[in-house]
Structure 1
Amino acid sequence: MNNSSNGYESIPDESLRIRKRDSLLRYTRPLFIITLLVWGIVVLLKIIQNFTGINDGNSDDKYHLPNPLVTNDGSLKVSFENVRNGTFQPVYHSLQWIKNVNNNDDDNGLYLTDANNTFAIRSVFDKDYEQVLLNSKTFKYQGSNFSVDSLVASPNLEQLLIRTNTVSNWRHSTFGSYFVYDKNSEVFYLIGDNIALAEWSPNSYDIAFVQDNDIYIYSTKAHSVVNRVTDDGSSQIFNGKPDWVYEEEVFEGDRALWWSIDGSYLAFARIDETKVGEFILPYYVQHEDDIYPEMRTIKYPKSGTNNPDIDILIYDTYHKSTFKADINLGSKISPVLLTEVIWVGNDTVLAKTTDRSSDILTVLLINAKEQTTNTARVHSSDDGWWEITHTTMFIPSDASKGRLEDGYIDVLPINGYNHLVYFTPSNSSKPIVLTEGSWEVVNGPSVFDNETGDIYFIGTKKSSTERHIYGVNINSPKKVYEVTDTTKPGVFTISFSSGAKAALLTYMGPSIPYQKIVDLKAIQKDSEIRGNTKGRTLYYLEENDILQENMKKYSVPVKTFDSLHLGNDSYGNEVIANSFEIVPNDFDPKRKDYYPVFFYAYGGPNSQQVLQTFSVGFNEVVASQLGAFVVVVDGRGTGFKGQNFRSIVRDNLGDLEAVDQIAAASIYASKDYIDAEKISLFGWSYGGYLTLKTLEKDGGEHFKYGLSVAPVTDWRFYDSVYTERYMHTPQENSEGYFKSSVHNVTNIAEAKRFLLMHGTGDDNVHFQNSLKFLDLLDIKGIENYDVHVFPDSDHSIRFHNANNIVYDKLLNWAKQAFNGDFVKLR
């Protein structure tokens, strides 16, 4: 009973306590729930931040991936989405300048345009002038529809040469169907299908074309083939068009035939690949139903192996006969490399040749009438090499202007810098030096004004990271004057009307690009200088207004150009390299050991990346999305700083270039706000090679991460023309080839991690290079790397959406590296 009574007697006190508790909970439960919600949101935001990289704007010294969308002040950021949709892409136009319709010396500023679905001739001086050539970009022939892929007017503008059904071949070459359109009769005539190239004769009615590696002459008078110039074309004999190595490395185009000035002769190259080694490229994903790979072969001369044989032949259109010039001149170094061909008179061809290692340049003169070949001059490279150029310019005689004999303008090193020189007569061996100084002429002369004697060219006179237009008169050597405003940074290109009276001047940066048409001979000058200091602006062809408006909406990371002092070379001379850095959004210099550095490098001989052009692309995406400094350094071996700076890398590629990248990394690692444990290097092609060589030499001391795309790893695997220019042959330089190869993979593995990507269909840098490197990693048991292979992609890595993937991979991989997600493995 006691337990029962004790229980009942306690009921009143417990009831009161429950009522008090319920009353308290009525007020505290909402507050508790709200508190839980707030903390839940905070935790959720932190989780989202970890996954998306959104930074809450705190200022501690621990690296955070920044907000990918906006800056701290709410401005929009650069991203792949707005780069890929063209938000920051400048618009550029090109003009196909043509000669006066009357074929005289008057320069009416005529050009071909395809505006409003019509091909027409217009004049920059007369906005009302129009001569319609073709009123549609499509046409019908025998009941079938065709699209105009390219169009070239005959010199007299009476007919059009049209290419359609275009199929790409290698980098520069195509195949297609060619038609002639007579605009007077409005009739289309088919020349043929599967034609590699076709070109008007200066006489306006003959066309030379290449089909199945043979050359034919098509007459628009007879509307038929009137002569077959060659009959030995085959899969290994190329007439009038280059094989793979000449297209890629020598002519840098698809043409190996050259009409004489009046169309009396046709010079052409005959390339014999019979002795050249064959490389097989397997293709795996060309067709869904394929169960065996498609095997394609390519004649590819690797270093130290047989080069193609080459000859120059000249066809006489009147006598319908052909003779072969002796471009080897009995040389024991046969076959030579034929690097440039130009007519320097009605019956005289100038041909440049070098030995296979580009040590000796020989200039030949071939007389088509007398069928003779003579040496005009021979030059040694003086411990450097001869780069291949295509800028030699014929200067015709004109007694009224004081030019008594034909001549030509060329580019030669003068005290170690490339400059314009004038040879007259054409067989002279002693040049007249037109420009000189510690700067360089870029790409030779742009145009020669026959009336005034002025030569216009692009040069680095102000800075090697800029390109300005200059002029010099052929009768006043070394008196160089400015055509563009050098008081402001600028990169300019220019193209000229037939008589050099008008020009399309293109400003490419560093600010928003624009294009304008300039009358160079105008007496009246511009009241406000913008770009050109010579001539008068007729009108702007493009001001990129849309781009200017887009730029206002985004906070684009700031790019600044500078010179880096990288220490002294082995001779005690200071090494000064051009560079630029892109500073990430919301940069705070007070932060300690915080910011990653993303180096990008190419670094190939005579190349240049540090040029003050406008661009918003992958580098800006990296700076914006990863909050990293992006740095580009043009170290030794790169171009436009003189022969000594570039030629020092000869016979030992990958060494000094890597030294300079490491020196630059050391400079950045010493900055208080840089996290020295988060410095990476990315490169593609030669840059991919330089990335691996830099990791190899650095041994993880400065560069902790590397991203290498389509790299050369052993120069024995690359083509002979490019490689031997800088390395000689493996037989002559076996030690140099070994040292220049990527071979010390254990040193590379001292980096925290590295990434390798390559396309299996790369006809330029064969996938063999990466496979060789991967095999070395396997042998040494190295595992701290990632690989992504792109089936059937060539060197540009674009097949089946590959280009988006390769850049996504680069960005995400670097994000993981900077975020500390990688664990080092060996």
Structure 2
Amino acid sequence: MEDIEKSNHYLIESSARKNRNGKGRIRTALLRYALLLVFVVLPVTTFGLGFHINYKASNPDVYRLPKSQFTKDGKIKVSFDNLRNGTFVPELKALQWIHTTGSTEDDKGLFLTTENDNYEVRSVFDEDYSKILWEGKSFQYKGANHSVDSLVASPNLEQLLIRTSTVHNWRHSSFGSYFVYNNVTGIDRIGDNLALAEWSPNSVDIAYVKDNDLYLYSTEESKTVSRITHDGSTQVFNGKPDWVYEEEIMETDRTLWWSPQGDYLAFFKINETFVNEFVIPYYVQNPEDVYSELRSIKYPKSGTPNPVADVVIYDAKKDKTSPIGLEGSPELLTEAKWVGDDQLLVKSSDRSSDVLKVYLVNAVTQNSKIVREDSSNGGWWEITHNTLHIPRDDSNGRNSDGYLDVLPIDGFNHLVYFDSVGSSSPIALTRGEWEIEDGPFAFDHETNDVYFIATKESSTQRHLYSVNLKQPEEIVEITDTSENAVYTASFSSGSRFVLISYRGPSIPFQKIVDLKSNQPDADKKGNIRGKTLFYLTKNEKLSDELCKYAIPRKQFKELTLPNGVIVNALEILPNGFRANRKNYYPVFFYAYGGPNSQQVLQTYSVSFLEVFASQLNAIIVIVDGRGTGFKGKEFRSVVRDKLGDYEAQDQIAAAALYSSKHYVDANKISLFGWSYGGYLTLKTLEKDAGVHFKYGISVAPVTDWGFYDSVYTERYMHTPQQNQNGYEQSSVHNVTAIAQAKRFLLMHGTGDDNVHFQNSLKVLDLLNLNSVENYDVHVFPDSDHGIRYHNANKIVWDKILNWTKNVYLN
């Protein structure tokens, strides 16, 4: 408005000087009146109705939203419309390798394919090999039609386990009807409403869970031959996890494991009798309901009783179960792995993940002993499931059953080898200021080579390497490390063949490589070892399609923050970015920031971030601050017992860095996060108090760690009884500081079983108590943590975009 007022003053005074007689004074008065209409009245009316955009459009130094969905060269800008229709999604195939009961030395690279509605076993090595297991996507049984939801072949490929009528439960679990198919005897029904079913390695028996009890089905007798447990209930879970074990510990729907020969079945018995209940109301499930539906869930919050888990072993030959006593009665069981025909390795920790204990259980004698006990030494033990059995083979220099694991070496997670299952002294296979991702991938029994993915080149990259058990720390590159890249890999049963998936930063592709070929590739792409047999996907169609679009430029970088911390960052610049502009561009920060997480990874993606860059004409920034993963123990463990502190400091420091850039409008810096990111958004606004972050968007946030589940929270915060001050400081509590931002948006689903709606209600209550009003709220009825129920996912993203547009224009 200052420029308009100066123009008014200049025009009126210059006219008055030119008219000194009466008529001139009349003309001057009329001119003044006309000018007042134009410059005073109109700003109050027409300008207020939106015509100020026309003024801004004439001034290149005033921020404005994009006027067109096309760039000057005719390319289409990224929007939610072309994002939601799958335009930018690469084709990536999951190859279901077949791990048969035969020798790993005879590795033909068998895999399951479902082309043309047929389930067929093929070979990557022998193009002529084909075995059709099943035809079609449905079948008839006793006059009723059933759709095939999933199909798992027996280890000998002679029979099939089929699931139909699947009903989703929690994140990983479901219920369904299970059938078994044999090309001689046909189809038999195992049962309905089963939680899971799993083949024995003997290809005869199937263990399944119904009503939280374990049963054994025999395909030879076509019936259930044993009820393994009799105490399953709403409180006792046999072979399947309860809510917190599924969500935070096992990250799967099962807690049962067959021994290598199928002689024994190990499982967890989880008793949640003393776990407190949380009730979630559902409002719009049935249009005819006038009362809300109440669903109760056993949910252990911080400092409250956890479920009690025990190890039980079932002897299939004797039809006998034996509970296993573990010394010290560990509070959390985190992993179980057979490391021999009758030896079971069990990992456990205290409830705060300070001490890791490893037990070796003898299935024959039912005895157990502690073989390892390690302190986290100021950090925590992250729950992993990457232990890999290395079987005894005297001819290859392996004189005992052993296993591979991941342990910290000089502050970085590395691959280690225990050459005996009873050993407590690991052999370090890798070492350095880089980390293993997700543990060992595969082991070649003939060559003693271990294949793994690691961050050796950069914490934002992933490459495939190998190391030999007999030559520790001599790392061999499998993928081309001269190019920035992220790779994943999956291996055939004998680890001769590998599906290498290039995930970015350029357009993804997938290829099958023979690691033992005598004819390596002449023209390398991706792998520098092995022979490419064929490409599974090339995404050539996607490559052609992307030429039509103006994809905002993405840059991965390291930032040295004003507080001296060096962090990984991703920056996305809007279409037509011009660095010579002054105080022009908004900055839209996106954060997650949870302990040991990572957002800045050099993968290909065209996501909501590119939409926001294109549609907001804003710079998008992601910063992986302290507490995040793959930069060593010191970097991540600093947040222990004080979540939300260092993470917020680093987001604020990054905002200070960007606000100092001449082309950034420091009054238009915002922060958005979901889940832990929603929590970090509120904590950052609280700590910043409006100095750098002017706007914030928080979706499904934790606001008080006393409200969240015990297993996750206590790993990083200990219990509230041990760390009362830490919990108080880590909660979102100073809402008057948050109110120093110009405006913020809070959104949550009322049916969230993970981060309960209680968290947002607590903050809303604090806002009321402190008379804070500069915020907006959107509630999604019955939506869970992903906010998808009844079109909610479209609305939540549209809301974030449109809300941000409005605040940037004010």
What TM-score do you get using the length of structure 2 for normalisation?
0.93
Q: Structure 1 pair 101/254, CA: closer, same or farther in 2 (3 Å)?
A: closer
Match of 2:701, SS? Answer: coil
Name the structure 2 match of 1:474: 469
Name the structure 2 match of 1:589: 579
Name the structure 1 match of 2:250: 251
Q: Structure 1 pair 343/48, CA: closer, same or farther in 2 (3 Å)?
A: farther
The question of 1:695 aligning with 2:685 is answered yes
User: CA shift at 1:226, angstroms?
Assistant: 0.5
| CA shift digits 1:107-138 (9 cap, x unpaired) | 00100111001001001112222100001111
| CA shift digits 1:330-374 (9 cap, x unpaired) | x2xx55100000000111100000000000000000001011010
User: CA shift at 1:526, angstroms?
Assistant: 1.0
Match of 1:663, SS? Answer: helix
Q: For the residues of structure 2 that align with 1:787 and 1:191, how far apart are their CA atoms? A: 48
* Equivalence map 1:720-735=2 (5 Å): 720-735=710-725
Match of 2:547, SS? Answer: helix
The question of 1:781 aligning with 2:771 is answered yes
Name the structure 2 match of 1:492: 487
User: CA shift at 1:67, angstroms?
Assistant: 2.4
The equivalent position to 1:661 in structure 2, one of 646, 651, 664, is 651
The equivalent position to 2:762 in structure 1, one of 742, 754, 772, is 772
Contact 1:103 1:156 in 2 (8 A): no
User: CA shift at 1:53, angstroms?
Assistant: 8.0
The equivalent position to 2:445 in structure 1, one of 444, 450, 453, is 450
* Equivalence map 1:554-703=2 (5 Å): 554-568=549-563, 574-703=564-693
| CA shift digits 1:391-450 (9 cap, x unpaired) | 000000000001010000000000000001111211011011100000000000000000
Contact 2:56 2:63 in 1 (8 A): no
Q: Structure 1 pair 625/672, CA: closer, same or farther in 2 (3 Å)?
A: same
Q: For the residues of structure 2 that align with 1:55 and 1:114, how far apart are their CA atoms? A: 59
User: CA shift at 1:102, angstroms?
Assistant: 5.3
The question of 1:287 aligning with 2:286 is answered yes
Q: For the residues of structure 2 that align with 1:276 and 1:128, how far apart are their CA atoms? A: 56
Q: For the residues of structure 2 that align with 1:736 and 1:809, how far apart are their CA atoms? A: 34
The equivalent position to 2:419 in structure 1, one of 414, 418, 424, is 424
Name the structure 2 match of 1:172: 172
Name the structure 2 match of 1:307: 306
Q: Structure 1 pair 335/207, CA: closer, same or farther in 2 (3 Å)?
A: same
Name the structure 2 match of 1:403: 398
Name the structure 2 match of 1:270: 269
Q: Structure 1 pair 766/550, CA: closer, same or farther in 2 (3 Å)?
A: same
Match of 1:743, SS? Answer: coil
Which residue identity is paired with 1:209? Y
Q: Structure 1 pair 48/800, CA: closer, same or farther in 2 (3 Å)?
A: farther
The question of 1:707 aligning with 2:697 is answered yes
The question of 1:761 aligning with 2:754 is answered no
Name the structure 1 match of 2:342: 347
The question of 1:543 aligning with 2:542 is answered no
Match of 2:658, SS? Answer: helix
Name the structure 1 match of 2:204: 205
Name the structure 1 match of 2:801: 811
User: CA shift at 1:47, angstroms?
Assistant: 9.4
Match of 2:532, SS? Answer: strand
The question of 1:356 aligning with 2:351 is answered yes
Contact 2:104 2:494 in 1 (8 A): no
Q: For the residues of structure 2 that align with 1:73 and 1:56, how far apart are their CA atoms? A: 23
Which residue identity is paired with 1:683? G
Match of 2:247, SS? Answer: helix
Q: Which moved more, 1:540-549 or 1:440-449?
A: 540-549
Q: Structure 1 pair 164/378, CA: closer, same or farther in 2 (3 Å)?
A: same
Contact 1:100 1:106 in 2 (8 A): no
Q: For the residues of structure 2 that align with 1:74 and 1:58, how far apart are their CA atoms? A: 22
Match of 2:790, SS? Answer: helix
Q: For the residues of structure 1 that align with 2:330 and 2:477, how far apart are their CA atoms? A: 43
Contact 2:401 2:419 in 1 (8 A): yes
Name the structure 2 match of 1:162: 162
Unaligned runs of 5+ residues in structure 2 are 1-42
The question of 1:323 aligning with 2:322 is answered yes
Name the structure 1 match of 2:29: none
User: CA shift at 1:68, angstroms?
Assistant: 4.3
The question of 1:381 aligning with 2:380 is answered no
User: CA shift at 1:99, angstroms?
Assistant: 3.1
Unaligned runs of 5+ residues in structure 1 are 1-42, 569-573, 821-826
| CA shift digits 1:303-327 (9 cap, x unpaired) | 0000001100000011111111112
Q: For the residues of structure 2 that align with 1:454 and 1:725, how far apart are their CA atoms? A: 34
Q: For the residues of structure 2 that align with 1:231 and 1:357, how far apart are their CA atoms? A: 32
Match of 2:474, SS? Answer: coil
Which residue identity is paired with 1:228? R
Q: Structure 1 pair 195/458, CA: closer, same or farther in 2 (3 Å)?
A: same
User: CA shift at 1:527, angstroms?
Assistant: 1.2
| CA shift digits 1:150-177 (9 cap, x unpaired) | 1110011000000110000000000000
| CA shift digits 1:722-756 (9 cap, x unpaired) | 00000000000000000000000000000000000
Name the structure 2 match of 1:77: 77
Q: For the residues of structure 1 that align with 2:47 and 2:404, how far apart are their CA atoms? A: 67
Q: For the residues of structure 2 that align with 1:387 and 1:54, how far apart are their CA atoms? A: 55
Contact 2:739 2:774 in 1 (8 A): yes
Contact 1:100 1:107 in 2 (8 A): no
Contact 1:412 1:419 in 2 (8 A): yes
| CA shift digits 1:454-500 (9 cap, x unpaired) | 00000000000001001000110010111100111100000000001
Q: For the residues of structure 2 that align with 1:111 and 1:366, how far apart are their CA atoms? A: 33
Q: Structure 1 pair 442/104, CA: closer, same or farther in 2 (3 Å)?
A: closer
The equivalent position to 2:742 in structure 1, one of 727, 744, 752, is 752
Q: For the residues of structure 2 that align with 1:73 and 1:782, how far apart are their CA atoms? A: 47
Contact 1:54 1:68 in 2 (8 A): no
Q: For the residues of structure 1 that align with 2:107 and 2:257, how far apart are their CA atoms? A: 25
Match of 1:761, SS? Answer: coil
Q: Structure 1 pair 101/307, CA: closer, same or farther in 2 (3 Å)?
A: closer
The question of 1:520 aligning with 2:515 is answered yes
Q: For the residues of structure 1 that align with 2:266 and 2:784, how far apart are their CA atoms? A: 33
* Equivalence map 1:49-64=2 (5 Å): 60-64=60-64
Which residue identity is paired with 1:533? I
Q: For the residues of structure 2 that align with 1:55 and 1:363, how far apart are their CA atoms? A: 70
| CA shift digits 1:750-779 (9 cap, x unpaired) | 000000000000000000000000000000
Q: For the residues of structure 2 that align with 1:139 and 1:124, how far apart are their CA atoms? A: 29
User: CA shift at 1:105, angstroms?
Assistant: 3.0
Q: Structure 1 pair 267/76, CA: closer, same or farther in 2 (3 Å)?
A: same
Q: Structure 1 pair 322/559, CA: closer, same or farther in 2 (3 Å)?
A: same
Q: How many residues align?
A: 766
Q: For the residues of structure 1 that align with 2:526 and 2:650, how far apart are their CA atoms? A: 35
Contact 1:100 1:108 in 2 (8 A): no
Q: Which moved more, 1:533-542 or 1:702-711?
A: 533-542
Q: For the residues of structure 2 that align with 1:90 and 1:512, how far apart are their CA atoms? A: 8
| CA shift digits 1:518-547 (9 cap, x unpaired) | 111111111111111110111111111221
Contact 2:430 2:472 in 1 (8 A): yes
The question of 1:127 aligning with 2:127 is answered yes
Contact 2:330 2:349 in 1 (8 A): no
Which residue identity is paired with 2:661? K
The question of 1:465 aligning with 2:464 is answered no
Q: Percent identity?
A: 62
Deviation above 4 Å: which 4+ runs of structure 1? 46-59, 100-104
Match of 1:484, SS? Answer: coil
